[in-house]
Each structure stands twice: as C-alpha cells, then as structure tokens.
Structure 1
Amino acid sequence: MMRVKERFSAYNQVLSVLPFRKQLIGQGLSMAGDAICLAALPIAFIREGLGGGVFGFVMAAVGVGTVIGALAGGMLADRKSPKQVLIYTDTARGVTQLAVVALLMTGAPWGLMVLAYLIFGIGIGVSRPCAQVLLVNLLPKKALVAGNGAMNFIDNLVAILFPATLGVFIILWEPVWGILIDGLTFFCAAIYTAQLPNVGHHESDEEFSLREALNGVTVVINNATLVLGFAATLVLNVLCFPIFLVVAPYAISHRFSEEMWGYCLAASGFGACVGSVITVLASGHERLVGLAVICGLFLAGAMALLGLGTLAWMAILGATFVGIVEASWLTGWATAMQTLSPEKDLGKVVAVDTFVTSGAHPFIYMGSGVVGGIIGYSQALTLTAVVSAGAILLIVLTAILFSPRVYQG
C-alpha cells in the first residue's frame, strides 16, 4: 500500500513544477484538437465520397512526413532550443490544418490534402524528439516515469471527453469544423510553449553530419534492452493505432453508425488513461518484456472484438483495449529510452524510434486501407488480431533468447 502511495506522490512532485504544468497544458490543448479531428476527419472523407484507400493514402502521407521530419528532429533537439523548435512546428501544423479546411470546403482534389498532411507529418517528426528532450530538461531523472505518465494521462483524458461530446456533435453537424478546431488549438499550444524557460539546450552553429545523426543507432545497438524495446515497438506501435485509425472508422460506421466511431475514440481514450496510470504504478519501464507481452495480448483481443463484435459494447470494449495498449506501451517505452540513453544523444535515439516506426506507418496506412476495401474492413481487423497474436509469440521467443544479455548487461 505504501508503495502505491509513493508512486502516486510522484505525480504530485511533477505537477508542482510550473514549467512542466505549462508544457502539460500546451500538449493537452493540441491533443484536444487532435482528438476532435480524429473523430471528424474520417467522417468528413466518408461524406465527401472518399473511400478507405484514399484516407489510407492521406494517413500514409503523415507517416512519410514524420520520417522526413525525424531525420532532422533528433539533431535539432540535441543542438538547438527544443522550445523554439516546438513553437515553430506547432504553428506550422496549425496553418496546415486551416489549409485542409479550405481544401475540403472548396472540393479540391484529394491529392492536395495528401501534400498538406505530408507537411503536417514533417512537423510531427521534428517535434517528437524535441518534446522528449524538453521534458528531460524540465524534470529530474527520477521523475520522468511520472512525467511521461502525466503527459499520457492528460492526452487521453481529453481523448475521452472531446470525441464523446464535442466530437459527436461536430460529426452530426459538420465534420470539417473538427479540423478547424484542431488547427486553432495548435496555435494555443505554441503560445503556452513560448512561456517555458530556455533550459538545457546546446546552441551550435556546426553543420549537421550523417555520422552524428547515426549516433542514435549506435546507442540502440549497444543496449540489448533498447533493441528488444524497438522490436516490440514495431509490433505494438505499427499494428496498434494506424490500423485502428484507418480501418476501424469504416468497419464501425458500416456495422453500427457514424456516431459510434466518436464513442469508440472516447473509449480508447478511457483505456489509455487506465493504461498510463497502471504503467506508472507498476514501473512498467523496468519490466519491458512483460509489458510488451501483456500489451500484445490486449491488442489481439482488441482487434478481434472490433472485427467480430456484433454488439455496441463489444466495439467499445475493443477500442478501450486499444487505448490501454497505446498508452501503456508509450509510457513505459518513452521512460525506458529517457533513462537508458545518454542525455546528449537522447534526441537522436527518439529520432531513430520515430524514423523506424513512422517509416513503417505509411505502408500500414495504405495497405490496411486497400486490404480493408478488398476483403472487408471488419475482416481486416480480424486478420490483424491473428497477426498480432503471432507477433506476441515472436516477442516471447526473442525475450528468451536475449534475456541473459538484457539482465546481465
């Protein structure tokens, strides 16, 4: 009991840090807009007569852009002010969302939206390493697990509230306005980020080198736990949200209603809140192999429920499991990277993570949309359940092979 109280007290400690609270509010604002957009964007495409294949291409553009941005993001985070970079990327993403609203309202070719979301993805790729480095600069190392947990909790709390309330209202009224709200919240996030102190950055005018960019790869290769974490991330991160975001909206809308997709997003947010808290209390970053196995089992169950469930509660439960998987793994994995990586190379390690996972995302986005259109969206979710279950077996075998090196090194 005392141990649980100690873990909860860690939340109080990180929330007492004023700059961290400002970062938390800024991220919460942008996430609130994202939550509404994720509920509204696929419905906007459906009402425009655009199928899952087109939506998959758009989401793939985000993934490609994220990879491009990650190439520079890691070095920018370690060499420049992560605060300034975040201000620029939040502003750019806000402008991009406003441009998408204009494209949808004028009936522009969907290829222009692919270009817009490519730019949006570049902003994501650059910002991720900077956000991680900024968090490390604002909090002591022992508080990072609580800091990551608080970040994920706030992200997912707004993911509960907004899709199920304002998100459903916007879907019923005009989905395009959900994208507009997302753009405006990015501007608000940039304002809050501007209030943070300039701490821990290392300004350098030296030219970027390929050798320096590869330092993150070297750090990962030399740490067996990070290698195993990356392998698990490829399964959990690549199979989790991309397929859920591209295939599930069409499967749920066809089987139930468009509004049900908003409720499913809210359910995934609730599951994510639960997952982030449990991971903090259980110190999941210290038990990465077990965390990966548990998340994988939940993922297989989630996709099976979303693909085969004939009742509304089954779809909502499946979406809840997706949220548990996403937040649990992201909280544990982010903390593991922050604590196991040298501080001077953290941005590059996060960039490697972003580059590898986001590099796979475009293929999943496009492939799942096309496959779902061919074999059926519900059938595609069921197939994902089978694949993820098989991937869990691979993770267990890998853990058995690498466990001596993980625990001895």
Structure 2
Amino acid sequence: MPLPRPSSYPLLRNRPFRLLLLGRTLSLVGDAVIPAALALAVLRATGSSSALAVVLGCAMGPRLLLLPLGGVVADRFNPRTIALTTDLVRCGAQLFVGVELLGGEPRLWHIAAAEAVGGAASAFAMPTLPRLITGTVTAKDRHGANSLFGVVRSSTVLGGPALAGLLIAYAGPGWAFILDAASFAVSACLLSALRLPHAPAPAPAEQRPSLRKDLVEGWHEVRSRDWYWTSLVAHAAWNGAAAVLMTLGPALAVAELGGEGTWIWILQVGAIGLLLGSLLAGRARPRRPVLTANLGLATYALPLGLLAAGAPAPAVIVAYGLAQAGLGFLSPVWETSVQAAIPSAVLARVTSYDWLLSMAAMPLGYVLAPLAASAWGTATPLWIAAVGVGVACAGTAAVPGVRRFTLPPDLPAQGAVGPDAAPAREDDAVRGGDDAVRAG
C-alpha cells in the first residue's frame, strides 16, 4: 500500500498543525497502552472481572453524560484552552493511578475515582479536535490533515499492545499509567504554544445563548441533515456489533478456532487493516464520500457472520482485517465531510452527539451479547449483530441525502469545501439532502 500523496506532507510545514499533530500523537501513544494495563492492574489487585467492569463503567459513565455539555463548551470557548486544560486533568488522573499501582497496595475505589475524573475530562476534550483541525489548516487541506490523523490513530492501535506488553512485562502496569500521564503533560506543553490562525473568535459572553438553547441548536443541526443522523444510526449499529464481537469472539477463538494465538492474529490483522484503510483514505477522494464510507463499514458483517457459521480461522482473520480497513477508510473521509458541511460555530456540539450515540451503543452490546448467548447460543447474537450492522450501514444508500452528498470535482485532490473555502457555484457546493454548505 503506497503512502499518502506527497501533497499531505506540506501540512507538516504548518507549525500550528505540526504542534497539534505531535501533541495528539503522544496522547494516543499513551492511551494505546492503557486498556491492557488497566485490565491487568485491576485483575492483579482484585482477581475479579466484576471489579474491572466497575472501573470501566466509572470511566465511561461521566464521559457519556457530559459529552453534550463538552460540545457546548468547545463551541463557546477557545478549543485550545479546553484541550490544554483537559490534558492537564487527565495527566493528573493517570499519574495518580500510576503512583497508586507502584505503591504495591492499590485500592479499587481510588482507581475508579481517578478513571471517572479522566472520563469526565475526555468528554470535554473529544469535541475540541474537529475545531482544532479546522482552526489550524485551511479548508483545502482538511482532508490531508484528517488522513494524517487517521494514519496516526491506526499506527498507535497497531503498536500500542506491543508497547503495553513490554511495559507490563518489564516494569509493571503502573509505569504504563506514568507514560500516559507524561504524554498528556507533553501534549499540554505543545498546546500552550499553539495558535489557531483560522479559528473564528468566540462570541462575547453577553451574546451567548443559554445552555439549553445551545444544546437544542446542536441537536437541530443533527436532525436537519438526513445524511448525518442516518449515518449516526449506522455508526451506532457498528459500535454495538463491535461490542458483541469483542465480548464473544475471544472465547470462540480459544474454544473453536485454535486457541489464544488465533485471537491475537485476528486483532493484529485487524490493526493492520485499520492502518491500510487510513492510508487508502489519504489517496482516495470518492465522489460520494458518505455513501462510500458507510458501505465500507457494512463489511463488519463478514467476520460476525463467519464466526457465527463456524468458518475456519483464516477466513475470519482475513474478514476482520477487511472490516477494520473499512473503519480506517471511514474515519478521515467522514471527518472531512462533517467539517465541510457543518458550520464551524456548531461543529463541536454536532461532533459531541456523534460521539455520544456511537459510544452509548457499545455498553449495550457488552451487556446484551452474553445474555443472548446464554439464552440462545453464541451464534444467535453474532447473526443478529451481523444482520444489524449490514442493514444499518448499507441501508443508508436508500437515504436521499446520503446518495446526494458530494464534493465538488474541481477542488484540489486533498480538498474540501467549508465556510472559509473559496467561493463556489451553487450547484458545486457540498450537498447533503436539502442542505448546502455555505461556501465563500
């Protein structure tokens, strides 16, 4: 697979974008080692998977509850300031957990409380990234910027487990949290030097509407675009299906597909597929980006169906790699489309609803998958998830706005239309249903 076009690399001469990319990269590297470290640390301390579920719930709960508020805050205030503050909060939370683990007698409620604080901070941090990207690069460079972020995310997913394994084996899980804390500290330092040359100034305090009005306005922006809210339903179905596979897949791999090594191969090939999909997104510029990306997500039905049918391990491994490539392709294409079509003044709020709907489906999958497997056998929830994700993602092709959402053919290969793009003819504007992006 070739690397992204050279036209992506001039972005690295853009100092604000370079600082942003480096800071987010360090944070992603630190975060990539945490899932394995957290699971092992809690299991070592308690020997209970229920305790791990409590800790994970403490991290996820505040994040879900506060995401809409995080979107409002990111739209009202300087996103750089918010991202910097939340990096410092998460640095403190992970440092606390690391010190607790290194102390030798970690207390579960201390870890749970720190993860809850970190989860709350992430609810305010996550909606800032689209505004940080649109604030550091021009409209024509957004697709290149999103593609580079996609490659970075995929690379950390690929290398994170190996780094986590080395840290845990030779230093213990506590040092993984120390590393994550350090990554947030360095990221905060980089953000402190960042300026947003293309970001609009926040509205004065006296001109800001009420919190409720801000939340309603953000939700209206979601509902008014049929291509957007139907895609969110599809993305939520994908996340729910992914939770089913992650819950039932390991046991099936161990019992029927050759053991623990098979599951490791599935995850590793999936990580490679994710990276290859991100690289492909850096080169490709589909005429109908939302439709193409959603059809790519529908491939997640393949590994689910093959697992349910008892297919051999190589088929499942290849299918999972293909499905993850679809996810890797979706992320940059979707983000560029959203940044092009959503007014910058409400971008963070709209993004927060995207995250909320997507992440809320995962706990549902985690809970329902084992219950359904106990009642009807493992194959049943896998088939249900396969049909659900296939129909939800491929079914968006029936939505007029999804089919009509296009990018102008005369823009640069890595370009997108947005509020600060050059003026365009009305019939060339990005379209989503009855909505057209304000160009010029």
TM-score with structure 1 setting the length:
0.82
Unpaired segments of 5 or more residues in structure 2? 406-432, 435-440
Letter in 1 for 2:180: D
CA gap 1:126/1:150 in 2 versus in 1, 3 angstroms: same
Instruction: Give the total of aligned pairs.
Output: 397
Deviation at 1:332, TM superposition (A): 2.2
* Contact 2:237/2:361 (<8 A) preserved: no
* Contact 1:59/1:365 (<8 A) preserved: no
Letter in 1 for 2:202: H
* Contact 1:167/1:262 (<8 A) preserved: no
CA gap 1:401/1:364 in 2 versus in 1, 3 angstroms: same
Deviation at 1:303, TM superposition (A): 4.2
Partner of 1:86: 83
Deviation at 1:385, TM superposition (A): 5.7
**What is the CA–CA distance in structure 1 between the aligned matches of 2:303 and 2:182, rounded to whole Å?**
33
**What is the CA–CA distance in structure 2 between the aligned matches of 1:333 and 1:18, rounded to whole Å?**
25
**What is the CA–CA distance in structure 2 between the aligned matches of 1:37 and 1:246, rounded to whole Å?**
19
Partner of 1:337: 338
Identity %: 19
**What is the CA–CA distance in structure 1 between the aligned matches of 2:394 and 2:265, rounded to whole Å?**
34
Report Cα offsets for 1:280-302 as digits up to 9, x if no partner: 322258332232122221x2334
Deviation at 1:349, TM superposition (A): 0.8
Deviation at 1:90, TM superposition (A): 1.1
Relative to structure 2, which stretch is displaced further, 285-294 or 72-81?
A: 285-294
- The structure in which a higher percent of residues are helix is 1
Secondary structure class of the residue paired with 1:214: helix
**What is the CA–CA distance in structure 2 between the aligned matches of 1:192 and 1:245, rounded to whole Å?**
35
Q: Structure 1 residue 212 and structure 2 residue 214: aligned?
A: yes
Secondary structure class of the residue paired with 2:202: coil
Aligned counterparts, 1:269-348, within 5 A:
269-283=271-285, 286-297=288-299, 299-303=300-304, 317=318, 320-321=321-322, 323-348=324-349
**What is the CA–CA distance in structure 1 between the aligned matches of 2:21 and 2:220, rounded to whole Å?**
31
Q: Structure 1 residue 59 and structure 2 residue 59: aligned?
A: no
**What is the CA–CA distance in structure 1 between the aligned matches of 2:114 and 2:247, rounded to whole Å?**
18
**What is the CA–CA distance in structure 2 between the aligned matches of 1:216 and 1:395, rounded to whole Å?**
24
CA gap 1:265/1:395 in 2 versus in 1, 3 angstroms: closer
**Relative contact order, CA 8 A, sep 6+: which one is greater?**
1
* Contact 1:78/1:345 (<8 A) preserved: yes
Partner of 2:140: 142
Secondary structure class of the residue paired with 1:65: helix
* Contact 2:291/2:402 (<8 A) preserved: no
* Contact 2:241/2:389 (<8 A) preserved: no
**What is the CA–CA distance in structure 2 between the aligned matches of 1:315 and 1:52, rounded to whole Å?**
27
**What is the CA–CA distance in structure 1 between the aligned matches of 2:296 and 2:216, rounded to whole Å?**
32
**What is the CA–CA distance in structure 1 between the aligned matches of 2:85 and 2:401, rounded to whole Å?**
42
Secondary structure class of the residue paired with 2:205: coil
* Contact 1:81/1:203 (<8 A) preserved: no
CA gap 1:40/1:309 in 2 versus in 1, 3 angstroms: farther
TM-score with structure 2 setting the length:
0.77
Deviation at 1:40, TM superposition (A): 2.8
**What is the CA–CA distance in structure 1 between the aligned matches of 2:39 and 2:217, rounded to whole Å?**
38
Partner of 1:96: 93
CA gap 1:366/1:386 in 2 versus in 1, 3 angstroms: closer
Partner of 2:166: 169
**What is the CA–CA distance in structure 1 between the aligned matches of 2:380 and 2:180, rounded to whole Å?**
31
* Correspondent of 1:160 among 158, 161, 166: 158
Deviation at 1:399, TM superposition (A): 2.7
CA gap 1:154/1:293 in 2 versus in 1, 3 angstroms: same
**What is the CA–CA distance in structure 1 between the aligned matches of 2:379 and 2:129, rounded to whole Å?**
32
